[in-house]
């Protein structure tokens, strides 16, 4: 998994029928110092995340292992909202 | 998933028999500011996209989760035509 | 899928038993302007391609979705020989 | 698999229900000279690793082949704690 | 698949139970001119390769398609020892 920050949404009316009702979130990738890396992913949301939330996301076939994404043409999913992380005992992020 | 723009087509008469009738589209990857990244993918089209459309595409095994691509040797699929996306409340793209 | 050009062959007598009879082709990756990117892949050949052919190749689990590669330890397959492709109406390659 | 060093933990209360009880570790990627590459991954822990341990981790669908991660939306797992590795007969790391 | 050269071994006593008896080899990635690229992978060995051997390796779910690696948390496998390869008729490597 990688760390990311939810920064936006994508609206798509015309989509594969299996994706009806899906909400697509734009996630900027973070490094472990809580800095943006420049990478991003558009992910399905299995945890009701909101704009500004820091999350963990999984990609590839693992992204289809939630009830929401099972057998869907979806290769990225938010599977956790991060409360905090620390590196070598130093807190790098704490949810307010 | 990643954002992309459909810019072309690939014609291939000789192909794996499971791919008969497939239409291959060339998609330029976009970043979240709606700029081209330099990357591309050739994808199957599950949503009847056309040249110029901005789309979401999925890769890997997830690309085989549409009716069109099921059990096919295909690792990328357009699964949504994007209407609009916004980042931190700012619209970055709107379909005309 | 990505575009590539077949440039060589790999001979390997000692290989996993499931790969008996496999032919491995070396494929240089192409960008959409028909330039080499510097990347390559060694792929199984589901379409009887030859040296010099421009092809589409699929990677990952999708590479196992041909009759040839089913259940094989093979992560890349040529699944189409390209006749032509065009970008924004301009032909970038045409098979002679 | 790649080599990595466990450097931290991620706490996430709100997560996909299949991930209840999961412990997420932050792993810095190492090259074969035992230097950090700048890359990282957040992984599930199948081997009770601790901060400072050097480990092997697997990604993608292979990360779901442990009892812990089976059918979970998890794309990276620590599957071994490294005792030592050597390159061309030279020891690059030895666990203390 | 990619070309690589076996340069070392990793010893790991504590590992996922499915990996008992596994031998992990360190493989430096090669480009098609037989030069090291700087990349590496730690792979299981399905073909009894030795230090110095040039090999083909597969990654991802395809790495689990050998008898050795079936259903194992293993994302890379050596599936062939290379005898020779040539590019545009020129031999780039020949096993001694």
Q: Chain B contacts of A58, Cβ < 8 Å?
A: none
Residue E4 sits at φ, ψ, to 5 deg, of -155, 170
Measured between beta carbons, the chain C residues lying within 8 angstroms of B72 are 62, 65
Residue D58 corresponds to which tokens in the numbers above?
A: 């697997």
Q: Extract the tokens encoding A23.
A: 């909400």
* Selected residue of A4, A11, A13, A16 to mutate for chain B interface (largest B Cβ count, 10 A): A16
CB distance B28 to B7 below 8 Å: yes
- Cβ-Cβ pairs closer than 8 A, A with D, add up to 100
pLDDT, one tens digit per residue, over C40-53 is 999 999 999 999 99
Residue E21: pLDDT band by 50, 70, 90 thresholds? confident
CA dist C59 → B84, C65, C74, E60 (Å): 30, 10, 9, 10
- DSSP letters, D45-85, are ESS---TT-EEEEEEGGGGG-STTTTTSS--EEEEEE--EE
Residues of A in contact with B46 (CB under 8 A): 16, 73
pTM of the predicted model as reported, rounded to 2 decimal places: 0.96
Instruction: Choose the closest CB to C75 out of E62, E86, E92.
Output: E62
Provide the pLDDT for residue D64. Answer: 97
Per-residue pLDDT tens for A36-84?
Answer: 999 999 999 999 999 999 999 999 999 999 999 999 999 999 999 999 9
Summarised one tens digit per residue, pLDDT across range D48-96 is 999 999 999 999 999 999 999 999 999 999 999 999 999 999 999 999 8
**Residue A3 predicted with pLDDT over 90:** yes
Q: How confident is the model at residue A21 (pLDDT cuts 50, 70, 90)?
A: confident
Residue of D nearest to E52 (CA): D88
> Cα separation of E54 and E84, whole Å?
9
pLDDT given at position D21: 87
pLDDT in tens, D15-61: 999 999 889 999 999 999 999 999 999 999 999 999 999 999 999 99
Antiparallel, parallel or unpaired: β E36-45 and E76-81: parallel
Q: Do B88 and A24 touch (CB under 8 A)?
A: no
The whole-angstrom separation of Cα D27 and Cα C94 is: 47
How many angstroms separate the CA atoms of D76 and D41, rounded?
Answer: 7
D80 at E interface, C-beta within 8 A? yes
**H helix count then E strand count, chain B:** 0, 8
SS3 for E26-85 is EEEEECCCCCEEEEEEEEEECCCCCCCCEEEEEEHHHHHCCCCCCCCCCCEEEEEECCEE
Task: Judge whether D54 is closer than 8 Å to chain E, CB to CB.
Answer: no
Q: Does E56 touch chain C (CB under 8 A)?
A: yes
pLDDT, one tens digit per residue, over E45-93 is 999 999 999 999 999 999 999 999 999 999 999 999 999 999 999 999 9
CA D88 from centre of chain: 25
pLDDT for residue D65: 96
Residue ranges of chain C with per-residue pLDDT less than 50: none
According to DSSP, the residues that pair with A25 across neighbouring strands are A9, A43
- Between CA B25 and CA C5 the distance in angstroms is 18
The CATH H-level superfamily of C2-94 is: EutN/Ccml (2.40.50.220)
Residue of E nearest to C50 (CA): E88
Q: Are the C-beta atoms of B76 and B66 separated by less than 8 Å? A: no
Q: In this complex, do D9 and A80 lie within 8 Å of one another by their Cβ atoms?
A: no
Q: How far is B58 from chain C (nearest CA, A)?
A: 11
pLDDT higher than threshold 90 for residue B1: yes
φ, ψ dihedrals at D53, nearest 5°: -65, 145
- Residue D62 contacts residue D74 (beta carbons within 8 Å): no
A66 vs chain B: nearest CA distance in angstroms? 13
Q: Which pLDDT score is estimated for E17? A: 94
In DSSP terms, B54 is beta-bridged to B5
């Amino acid at each position: 998994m990688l760390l990311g920050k939810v920064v936006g949404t994508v609206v798509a009316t015309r989509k594969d029928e299996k994706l009806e009702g899906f909400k697509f979130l734009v996630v900027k990738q973070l490094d472990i110092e809580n800095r943006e890396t420049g990478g991003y992913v558009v992910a399905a949301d299995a945890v009701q995340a909101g704009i500004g939330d820091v999350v963990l996301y999984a990609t590839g076939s693992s992204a289809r292992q939630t009830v929401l994404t099972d057998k869907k043409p979806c290769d990225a999913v938010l599977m956790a909202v991060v409360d905090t992380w620390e590196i070598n005992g130093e807190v790098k992020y704490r949810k307010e």
